Amino acid sequence: MRMVFRWYGEGNDTVTLKQIRQIPGVEGIVWALHDLPPGEVWPLERILELKRQAEAYGLHIEVVESVNVHEDIKLGLPSREKYIENYKRTIANLGQAGVKVICYNFMPVFDWIRTDLFKELEDGSTALFYESAKVDGMDPMELVRLIAENPEFTMPGWEPERLSRLTELFEAYRGVTEEHLWENLRYFLEQIIPVAEANGIRMAIHPDDPPWPVFGLPRLMHNRDHLARLLSLVDSPANGITLCSGALGASRDNDVAAMVREFADRIPFAHIRNVRVYDNGDFIETSHRARDGSVDICDVVKAYHENGFTGYARPDHGRHIWDEKCRPGYGLYDRALGIMYLWGIWDSLEREKRRREETAAC
């Protein structure tokens, strides 16, 4: 397991590269050029400049999240050809800079949805919260207002350019079925996977967050069967999964550890976080500790270990603790604590493996 840490760039993050470098076992950053709108080519010089920044602190840039997919590609419009060509050029530029994994998603309009960015937990910390009934009766424009309350940060998936076109986008998706979206995803992958292969890059799709349809929009990556279908669209090691235990774990129907065991060889990137799921469908993000949420993080990490996982992993969203002022879900402190919890599980499994090998040798 190769530990990495998400960083939003100088001037757009309260966390510094110096701080990231001091978290034990972290070897690289997960990054993006967040100021570029979906569909634009990422210039090589911009990529190399960020690489120089990271390498000055002994960190690599081998994992990118997210190279967002333009809505015209998801919608299957004729204009998608231009944006797919731009995506190919971005893949080539990233490959030239040494990038190995690109995390992306295929969710229409919204990449992720929460109803409260700072919901208080029992211990006084706060975390991202999803209230199911509120979403069911919500005007999507309320999400725009929610984000507008936090203008100091770019929120990937909720970029101002995209949100300014919300009414237009909802109208464009009217009549687009789940099968239409699957076909558009297949077409996209058939175009880009050969380019990814040629550049030594593995594409890794992120599951829907939350893992069910919202606002009447079709969504594809909910469960085990959807992940299997995704992998069958283009059968290549370069067509993979960002397996997010928090996104998938928001549904009690999903056995995240079982998915790790089944798809291990097609998971180049792991998001490991926990959520507490309530009987009414609400959920809140918690500490990474298994007993604090509904996802058995110990078994998830064990599943990766059993399969000799050598891919990249990052502690996904954390709580906001110790009065830290930070981007919702992306404080330094709780994610650093999460890393040490994950390493504790991993190191215990490594020790047990060595003991078994020593006993067998005798």
Mean pLDDT, rounded, for 335-350: 97
Residue 162 has pLDDT above 70, yes or no: no
pLDDT of residue 145: 67
H/E stretch holding 204 reads strand 202-205
**Angle, nearest 10°, between helix axes 80-96 and 178-198?**
30
pLDDT, one tens digit per residue, over 61-71 is: 999 998 999 99
Please name which of 105, 86, 107 lies closest in space to residue 43, comparing C-alpha atoms: 86
Q: Which two tokens stand for residue 129?
A: 């919260």
Which residues lie across from 119 on neighbouring strands?
127
Please name which of 203, 225, 221 lies closest in space to residue 212, comparing C-alpha atoms: 221
pLDDT of residue 161: 63
pLDDT, one tens digit per residue, over 93-111 is: 999 999 999 999 999 988 8
Domains and CATH numbers, the chain: 2-361 (3.20.20.150)
Band the pLDDT of 146: cuts 50, 70, 90: low
Please name which of 305, 289, 291, 297 lies closest in space to residue 351, comparing C-alpha atoms: 305
User: Residues 285, 290, 294, 296: is their CA dihedral positive or negative?
Assistant: positive
Distance CA 29, CA 6 (A): 5
pTM of the predicted model, to two decimals? Answer: 0.92
Distance CA 294, CA 292 (A): 7
Tell me which residues are annotated as active site.
206, 244, 271, 316-317, 330
Distance CA 317, CA 274 (A): 8
Mean pLDDT, rounded, for 194-201: 98
**Amino acid occupying residue 215:** F
Cα torsion 139, 140, 142, 147 to 10°: value is 170
pLDDT, one tens digit per residue, over 222-261 is: 999 999 999 999 999 999 999 999 999 999 999 999 999 9
Residue 163 has pLDDT above 70, yes or no: no
Mean pLDDT, rounded, for 17-28: 98
